[in-house]
């Protein structure tokens, strides 16, 4: 099984940022609303995530590190309407095959915490007692210590951290109810309290994207009665357009995506007001019936396929175009 894990790891674990993404998704799936991340050396030396979610019972700890041990699919039909972020049951197994991983957890109804560890191919079967409040901590040390070829492909500490921070940003922009702390080499980089109100959400936006974005954007929330599509979020004003496409966030049912249909619709809405070579900034959320969208086109899940792409395209285009038209004097 270890060899299979290492092969699978090639798919999921590319760099520290991919580890962080998987760990964050697990925490969110577990219902956590506080997540703390400690990173050292861009994540290569250490990624430690602590959450206050549902935890893993003593009996399931070792299982959580084994391949295809997902607790998230109970029936085949679940595959049709996957609500949770992860569901393939191989992230922890893959990560532990290329690092030194310790999983410590305590469900609310358990008096003590327990921990399991794995060092690359060697998984210690022992479950040992540990001290931990309700919730889970995953500690990933020395990423790729046993796969030097993969390690060689890593960029500088700064670059790896930038990728990792981007992952945190995306999730922080899709889960306003969750508090996030991100520290790098002992220094706080982001401290985001749960944001329940509109103004708290805008405060989070300002922390993540800068005050300029919040000041130079329009909030919108539009529902198409007939199709049930909803588009909400913030559109940067044309004056806030950028030379780089680095502030474009589009979420479909809470998941960040890159999609040609979406990009085209947004660009088209802005096209009359943007100078050549400028990119609009936006943080937009599309919500629709999960049956109308395929999310598992690719394992990293950044892609979607709309069942009615024309409808989606036109709704996004028209909604944004109207907002822009209203801005004209
Ligand atoms: P998947 O998320 O696809 O099920 P993973 O390998 O990411 O697979 O996780 C395996 C299992 O470990 C999960 O199904 C879940 O039961 C458990 N698990 C992992 N992380 C956490 C966490 N932070 N809190 C609670 N349970 C967790
Ligand atoms: Mg997972």
The CATH number for 228's domain is: 3.30.230.10
Measured from the Cα of 25, ligand 1's closest atom is 2
Of the listed ligands, the closest to the CA of 95 is: 1
Question: Does residue 162 belong to any structural domain of this protein?
Answer: yes
Same domain, 129 and 214: no
Same domain, 318 and 257: yes
What is the number of structural domains in the chain?
A: 2
Ligand 1 surroundings by CB, under 6 angstroms = 22, 26-27, 30, 51, 53-56, 64, 69-72, 86-93, 136
280-309 pLDDT per residue, tens: 999 999 999 999 998 765 656 678 899 999
In angstroms, the Cα distances linking 206 to 49, 201, 220, 237, 299 are 24, 9, 17, 15, 31
52-78 pLDDT per residue, tens: 999 999 999 998 988 655 555 454 444
pTM: 0.90
Q: Which domain holds residue 73?
A: 2-192
Same domain, 55 and 183: yes
Same domain, 225 and 301: yes
Residue nearest to atom 15 of ligand 1 (CA): 71
Distance 49 CA to ligand 2 centre (A): 13
Rounded to whole angstroms, the Cα distance separating 34 from 50 reads: 8
Those residues with Cβ within 8 angstroms of residue 102's Cβ, 6 or more apart along the chain or in another chain? 115, 116, 117, 137, 138, 139
> 91 — phi, psi (to 5°)?
-65, -50
Same domain, 178 and 264: no
pLDDT at 81: 46
Retrieve residue 301's tokens.
Answer: 């899940």
pLDDT at 87: 45
Measured from the Cα of 84, ligand 1's closest atom is 2
Give 239's DSSP letter.
G
SS3 113: strand
Question: Does residue 52 belong to any structural domain of this protein?
Answer: yes
Same domain, 315 and 254: yes
SS3 237: coil
Residue 126 CB neighbour total at 10 angstroms: 10
204-242 pLDDT per residue, tens: 999 999 999 999 999 999 999 989 999 999 999 998 988
Residue at which a domain ends, from 140, 161, 192? 192
Q: Which of 214, 205, 171 is nearest to 21 (CA)?
A: 171
């Amino acid at each position: 099984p270890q060899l299979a894990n290492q092969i699978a790891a090639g798919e999921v674990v590319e760099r520290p940022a991919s580890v962080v993404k998987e760990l964050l998704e697990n925490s969110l799936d577990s219902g956590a609303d506080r997540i703390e991340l400690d990173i050292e050396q861009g994540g290569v030396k250490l990624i430690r995530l602590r959450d206050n979610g549902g935890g893993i019972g003593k009996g399931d700890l070792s299982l959580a590190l084994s391949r295809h041990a997902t607790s998230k699919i109970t029936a085949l039909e679940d595959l049709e309407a996957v609500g949770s972020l992860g569901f393939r049951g191989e992230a922890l197994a893959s990560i532990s095959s290329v690092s030194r991983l310790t999983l410590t957890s305590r469900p609310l109804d358990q008096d003590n915490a327990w921990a399991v560890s794995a060092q690359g191919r060697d998984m210690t079967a022992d479950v040992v007692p540990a001290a931990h409040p309700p919730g889970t901590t995953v500690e990933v040390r020395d990423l790729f210590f046993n796969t030097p070829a993969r390690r060689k492909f890593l960029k500088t500490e700064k670059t790896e951290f930038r990728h990792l921070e981007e992952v945190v940003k995306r999730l922080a922009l899709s889960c306003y109810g969750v508090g996030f702390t991100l520290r790098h080499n002992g220094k706080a980089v982001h401290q985001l309290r749960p944001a329940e109100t509109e103004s708290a959400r805008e405060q989070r936006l300002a922390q993540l994207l800068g005050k300029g974005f919040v000041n130079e954007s329009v909030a919108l929330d539009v529902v198409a009665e007939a199709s049930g599509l909803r588009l909400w979020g913030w559109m940067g004003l044309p004056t806030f357009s950028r030379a780089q496409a680095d502030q474009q966030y589009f979420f479909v049912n809470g998941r960040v995506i890159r999609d040609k249909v979406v990009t085209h619709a947004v660009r088209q809405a802005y096209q009359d007001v943007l100078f050549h070579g400028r990119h609009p900034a936006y943080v937009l959320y599309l919500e629709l019936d999960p049956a109308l969208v395929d999310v598992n086109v690719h394992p990293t899940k950044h892609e979607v396929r709309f069942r009615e792409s024309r409808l989606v395209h036109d709704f996004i285009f028209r909604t944004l175009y109207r907002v822009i038209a209203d801005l004209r004097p």
